[in-house]
Amino acid sequence: MVVTYTWTVDAIKPVIATTAVSENKGCNPTIVAPVFTLTEACSPGTIVVVDGGVTGAGCEKSQTWTANYTDACTNAAVPVSVTYTWVEDVVIPVIAVANKGRPCRNM
């Protein structure tokens, strides 16, 4: 009797990439989560993205996403993180006008 075993040797780390860059998004931006892509030859799968949520005190805000992936052969990709910062301004401006007219007189 002949028994044959086959297997795949995978010693190459998967690679996570994104075109998004960490940056300051300015004042009151619409924040869209970055998109990450995976290059993996032997066991394609799904990237795990951890969203740190919006953090910050006052009007200074930030949000970080970190993408991770480990293939079926336990080769871990180098994690990729993208952080956006911005100012959240929700206070309505108030315009004040100084009264420089004549004082009122009682008649």
pLDDT, residue 102, reads 64
Complete domains list, the chain, with CATH: 15-87 (2.60.40)
Give the pairing type, strands 60-68 and 80-87.
Answer: antiparallel
pLDDT of residue 92: 84
Q: What is the pLDDT of residue 11?
A: 81
pLDDT score of 101: 63
Q: CB 8: neighbour CB atoms within 10 A?
A: 9
| Structure confidence at residue 14 (pLDDT) | 94
Tell me the mean pLDDT per 10 residues along the chain, length 107. Answer: 86 93 96 95 88 95 97 92 94 81 62
